[in-house]
Chains A and B, each alone.
Chain A
Amino acid sequence: MIWLTWRQFRGQFLATVGLLAVLVAYLLYLGVTIRDAYDSDIVGCVAARGCLIDDATASFIRDYRGPVTIPSIVLMILPALIGVFWGAPLITRELETNTHRLVWNQSVTRTYWLAIKLGFIGLVSLVLTGTLSVLLTWAASRYDLVGGNRFDQMSFASRNIAPLGYIVFAVVLGTLLGMVTRRTVPAMAVTLLIIGVVQVLAPTLVRPYLRAPVTVSVAYNAETRARGGSLDIPSSNPLSITGYSIPGALTLTDRTSLRNAGGTEVRATDVKDCLADEGVTSTDGWQQVERCIAAKNLHFDLEAQPANRYWSFQWIEFGAFVGLGLLLSGLAFWRIRHVRG
């Protein structure tokens, strides 16, 4: 049975491996290049006198954002591709060519047949994804260290063990949908749709609440702008900070009020002395206003999943998707016995 599964799958497998081999070579090259650049530009800058580390990291990130993003996207869409092109046709192809009526009347039960087919394809997908994920995690590690946010959706979904969970889910989902729809094209379409929806919903609606968020107090200072936080001074409402992200953490709050040491929200009237009467027009003027407000010992509160929860979240998502995959495969094994031959 393993031979038959391999024989049926051989062509596709070799074509896919051929494509992915290109990616593997690229990742190896990228990893070495990034390491060299890190050693010379970042480590070298720290050691060198008169080198501005901020400029060095900014240019390092700028140089490698594209080269790291491309393989990250490939890893992000890999579950959808494998679910659609390997999972969905796994059974529909047999149903459509009627060969299930040949193979289901050999001396093997449908359950065994499905176990081998699904197990084989699942394992191959896992090994491929695992290889790519390890390589990408390695290749991008210096980049992630310098500037990346590991909780960023693209990083989170393409590094370490989370992709393995997605791939298990995708393969089983495609197979089960094939069994239900009995037709390749609809099975592919529904698989793609569901995986797409899950990949949008999981990071936006589910991941932020996998564990109870913690509240982080951040002082308002010159760093705030560099971390993406922009100050807004409305005439009647409290002052607010929008878009601030805590380094390495998953920041959940987008807009929050600026508070004083006592925790009271600060209003425009409280910082009158920083605001020019005529209103601020030039950039220089605005920076002066910010500096003035920063000197008032203000802070803001944010909800976040802190950076040290990264691995706990990787494991939770991996476990959740593997669990979903197992649940769906349970359904598939129950269902296969009642599929109309």
Chain B
Amino acid sequence: MTSVLRADGLTKHYGRHPGLVEADLDIPAGRVVGLVGPNGAGKSTLLGLTSGLIEPTSGTIEVLGSRPAASGSQLARVGFVAQDTPVYAGLSVGDHLRLGARLNQRWDEQLARRRIAQVGLDLSQKAGRLSGGQRAQLALTIAAAKRPELLIFDEPVAALDPLARRQFLQHLMEFVSELEVTVILSSHLLGDLERVCDHLVLLASARVQLAGEVDDLLSTHYRIVGSRDDVAHLPPGFDVISAEHRGRQSTLVVRRTDTTPIPRSFANAERLDLEEMVLAYLTRATDPSGAASHHSPALETLR
């Protein structure tokens, strides 16, 4: 299988402040990759490194088999949509398409026109007057009509309302199946990512905390509830990601690292959804001492 992105010990420092530390990644082609993490965790740094906007301090990164932004043809193969989907406010939708056609040799005019019609945009409308959702659709169309092999989005849906978000992601998925493109997408909205992503990269404190196929990840993570004694004597083969203790009872999120069966005392072990899994890692990353297990009631019990 070919890799779209391969990083080896990838590190970026801004002065003494670490932007990204020792990232090892291998992302296969054809995936929709969700990139998650707290603000300032290194998401934008990783996306910048991938698109060639930033040079690494050390380590290597290969995108589509070569150094990012190494040449014009390499640039043509990568589409990047920055945060808040910037467009030229003074130019019309049609002007944007002309601009795209001038600047990209592989421009697919037919695809662009068809998409613009599909999302109901008026070619003569000024981009400055578009709603957030329409602007995102325009940026998506322009990025896709480049016919890139890799499409990168930095929080494309953060400012959108639920409906616009849903429509944007729907169109994105249509592009993915039509163009066979790999997509990397950063977002805070884990529910959305769960719906569209098949690969996940989780960053926190400038380090990769978790990376892999979503299905694989979800099938190896469990929430188990048991007495403190039980959870203290977990067999090897389980990594404790997060622990919450209340009274004599403990709730753990664990990752199974081999094929060891779950002990019987944890008969109630259950799979997690993507959001809970990610939150467990984020909690661990921001509070490595495990002090996160304070005695606040879970949200669910308050409802």
Q: Is A–B contact present in the complex under a CB 8 A cutoff? A: no
* B interface list, Cβ under 8 A from A: none
* A interface list, Cβ under 8 A from B: none
